[in-house]
Chain A
């Protein structure tokens, strides 16, 4: 069993273990919080990459899944007593609603050109934003609301941030390996084939629609779960979870980190979150840092044009060509001798 694990899996497990130990050395609140954000957005960006990188579907409304997840768990915990049962209920509701929305959006537009899914999700996300602003009795509008999360048993309550940190980390690692398994399964191979050449997949006898709908539902469910973690980690929810900025963040993380890989989005999430943190401190130095969206936007455009496969993709590509070259060298050496 252990022998069959890939070398990369060991690297991932080792990194995960390091991250588990990290808060025992550096447990300032802001740092833990930043790391939690990275895990949450790492999950969110991975779910995004399932669509963009693996299947070639562009969604501009991914924030709606995130927001639905955040609001579902927040409202459940707010309405019922903050116990683990209502937390579980909230998570189940979040994932069910997220999956349902993804299903509806999918069957409506995935048979059409990629533009349609992008436009429909953008419009739907906007609808949810308006809904969250207007339905004040449920969402408390623009102000948002705070809520209690279940109390932890015994001495763990004093280390609540640490527990949330570990919970988010474990969730991310589990989802990472789950999705890795998914993308390496026959289903994942068909998705990549659809991305590369739809016509050919059709002529091989596959129906494309079910696969696309399945992956959009999975992606929606995972994104809702990221929203749940986000709400739990800050114990507050407002309409900003539905904003286009959320989708943009996922997009940036995926594109910069590397589309079509699962590590890429996590690395992207790390870079973007740290950049957010340090750039907002720099705003005293120069006003341009207050408008950091411009910097990110320009960076993003440049990456789309010049490095369409992102950091991880570019590194992988370099490694592959080097290996190839080495092989060729060896072969030519053999031929020469």
Chain B
């Protein structure tokens, strides 16, 4: 039982981190019809900036804030330089964002050196709680809480604020929103920056929990995020949460019991969704997958 709960907590924590990347990806796709293959690169940048910030300031909060700022900036640069010239051309978007992904991860090696960085947990999250005979690692609980808060915050913004209304309407029908006098370009930039910041936050939270930050993690988690977005339904935030938890849990359990099949089970999940429900678990009206 102890083991089961531990694995479950671990899985949920991993799922929350994947959710942080995937929700930006899914929002950007739903609103702008852009699939950003560079998203994982921003995740890796978040991790490196977070680790660097913590080693310089020794303050966890500041390191997180630095990572988020880095995410916002990279998001702005990406939108401005990479996405803007190729709006409306899917193939060029896919090609160019993959190229930028590689530039981003190589640039990490230029700035932070080619080696793997060791990441430390802040002291107040280092040990664990004992509840009965179950040990709960503090940092994982912290990750779950942060992920959940972010999810609730996104849903609240989307549901109850004017900006959220515009974004939701934009996902359904861009032309109509423009016709109503909304500057959709600004909304695009905003959503892109927030999505990137969330990915960077995910990276900054991930590095301490795994203990390392390496440049290739962007690609690795980027792939997870794509799978999650496919399973959850492109454009759906709750869908990406459910799918991320599903992927996180199945991955952790399989990694424990049948380690060699850990990656395969995620793929099988995706295959099943693609065969039986290609629009994903949660279909969003207005977003077509054809």
- Give A residues with C-beta under 8 Å from B: 52, 56, 58, 60, 108-109, 111-116, 118-120, 122-124, 126-127, 130, 134-135, 244, 248, 251, 255, 291, 293-294, 297-298, 300-301, 304-305, 308
B interface, size bucket: 35 or more
Q: Which of B86, B94, B99, B275 contacts A115 (CB 8 A)?
A: B94
Listed stretches B63-71, B201-209, B260-268; interface member: B260-268
Could you show 13 A-B contacts with beta carbons less than 8 Å apart? A52-B91, A58-B91, A112-B289, A113-B90, A119-B227, A119-B230, A126-B220, A255-B95, A291-B109, A293-B102, A298-B103, A301-B103, A305-B92
Structural contact, B263 and A301, CB atoms closer than 8 A = no
For the complex of A and B, the 4 pairs showing the least CB-CB separation, nearest first, are A297-B103, A119-B226, A115-B35, A300-B99
Shortest Cβ gap from A259 to chain B (Å): 9
Does chain A have a CB within 8 A of B96?
A: yes
Structural contact, B110 and A294, CB atoms closer than 8 A = yes
Does chain A have a CB within 8 A of B271?
A: yes
Tell me the complex Cα distance, A216–B102, Å.
25
Structural contact, A116 and B274, CB atoms closer than 8 A = yes
Tell me the complex Cα distance, A130–B223, Å.
13
Shortest Cβ gap from A197 to chain B (Å): 14
Structural contact, B99 and A297, CB atoms closer than 8 A = yes
Does chain A have a CB within 8 A of B199?
A: no
Tell me the complex Cα distance, A205–B91, Å.
25
Does chain A have a CB within 8 A of B79?
A: no
> Assuming A112-B278, A112-B290, A120-B270, what are 12 further A-B pairs, CB within 8 angstroms?
A58-B95, A113-B290, A114-B90, A115-B90, A115-B234, A120-B274, A122-B226, A127-B264, A251-B95, A294-B106, A304-B86, A304-B95
> Using Cβ atoms and an 8 Å threshold, which residues of chain B touch A126?
220, 223, 263
Shortest Cβ gap from B117 to chain A (Å): 17
Structural contact, A305 and B86, CB atoms closer than 8 A = yes
Structural contact, A293 and B226, CB atoms closer than 8 A = no
Name which residue of chain A comes closest to B35, CB basis: A115
Structural contact, A116 and B267, CB atoms closer than 8 A = no
- Give B residues with C-beta under 8 Å from A: 29, 35, 37, 82, 85-86, 90-92, 94-96, 98-100, 102-103, 106-107, 109-110, 219-220, 223, 226-227, 230, 234, 260, 263-264, 267, 270-271, 274-275, 278, 288-290
Tell me the complex Cα distance, A52–B274, Å.
22
Shortest Cβ gap from A258 to chain B (Å): 14
Q: Which of A52, A124, A244 contacts B267 (CB 8 A)?
A: A124
Take A114-B90, A123-B226, A127-B264 as given contacts and tell me if A60 and B98 are in contact as well, using a CB distance cutoff of 8 Å.
yes
> Using Cβ atoms and an 8 Å threshold, which residues of chain A touch B92?
304-305, 308
Most buried by B among A119, A130, A135, A294: A119
> Using Cβ atoms and an 8 Å threshold, which residues of chain B touch A301?
82, 96, 99-100, 103
> Using Cβ atoms and an 8 Å threshold, which residues of chain B touch A293?
102-103, 106
Shortest Cβ gap from B209 to chain A (Å): 21
Tell me the complex Cα distance, A127–B270, Å.
13
Structural contact, B107 and A294, CB atoms closer than 8 A = yes
Take A291-B109, A293-B102 as given contacts and tell me if A118 and B94 are in contact as well, using a CB distance cutoff of 8 Å.
yes
> Using Cβ atoms and an 8 Å threshold, which residues of chain A touch B103?
293-294, 297-298, 301
Structural contact, B94 and A305, CB atoms closer than 8 A = no
Shortest Cβ gap from B280 to chain A (Å): 11
Tell me the complex Cα distance, A58–B91, Å.
7
Q: Which of B29, B90, B110, B260 contacts A134 (CB 8 A)?
A: B260
Name which residue of chain A comes closest to B110, CB basis: A291
Name which residue of chain A comes closest to B89, CB basis: A308
> Using Cβ atoms and an 8 Å threshold, which residues of chain B touch A112?
274, 278, 289-290
> Using Cβ atoms and an 8 Å threshold, which residues of chain B touch A304?
86, 92, 95-96, 99
Tell me the complex Cα distance, A120–B288, Å.
18
Shortest Cβ gap from B123 to chain A (Å): 35
Shortest Cβ gap from A130 to chain B (Å): 5
> Using Cβ atoms and an 8 Å threshold, which residues of chain B touch A308?
92
> Using Cβ atoms and an 8 Å threshold, which residues of chain A touch B94?
58, 60, 114-115, 118
Structural contact, A291 and B106, CB atoms closer than 8 A = yes
Tell me the complex Cα distance, A119–B227, Å.
8
Tell me the complex Cα distance, A58–B106, Å.
23
Shortest Cβ gap from A185 to chain B (Å): 23
Q: Which of B37, B109, B267 contacts A123 (CB 8 A)?
A: B267
Tell me the complex Cα distance, A40–B136, Å.
54
Structural contact, B290 and A297, CB atoms closer than 8 A = no
Q: Which of A114, A127, A130, A294 contacts B91 (CB 8 A)?
A: A114
Tell me the complex Cα distance, A101–B200, Å.
34
Tell me the complex Cα distance, A123–B222, Å.
10
> Using Cβ atoms and an 8 Å threshold, which residues of chain B touch A111?
278, 290
> Using Cβ atoms and an 8 Å threshold, which residues of chain B touch A122?
223, 226
> Using Cβ atoms and an 8 Å threshold, which residues of chain B touch A114?
90-91, 94
> Using Cβ atoms and an 8 Å threshold, which residues of chain B touch A255?
95
Tell me the complex Cα distance, A304–B91, Å.
10
> Using Cβ atoms and an 8 Å threshold, which residues of chain A touch B264?
127
Take A111-B278, A294-B106, A305-B96 as given contacts and tell me if A127 and B267 are in contact as well, using a CB distance cutoff of 8 Å.
yes
Name which residue of chain B comes closest to A126, CB basis: B223
> Using Cβ atoms and an 8 Å threshold, which residues of chain A touch B290?
111-113
Shortest Cβ gap from A167 to chain B (Å): 33
> Using Cβ atoms and an 8 Å threshold, which residues of chain B touch A52?
91
Take A56-B91, A58-B91 as given contacts and tell me if A123 and B223 are in contact as well, using a CB distance cutoff of 8 Å.
yes
Q: Which of A108, A127, A291, A305 contacts B275 (CB 8 A)?
A: A108
Q: Which of A123, A244, A248, A305 contacts B227 (CB 8 A)?
A: A123
Name which residue of chain B comes closest to A292, CB basis: B106
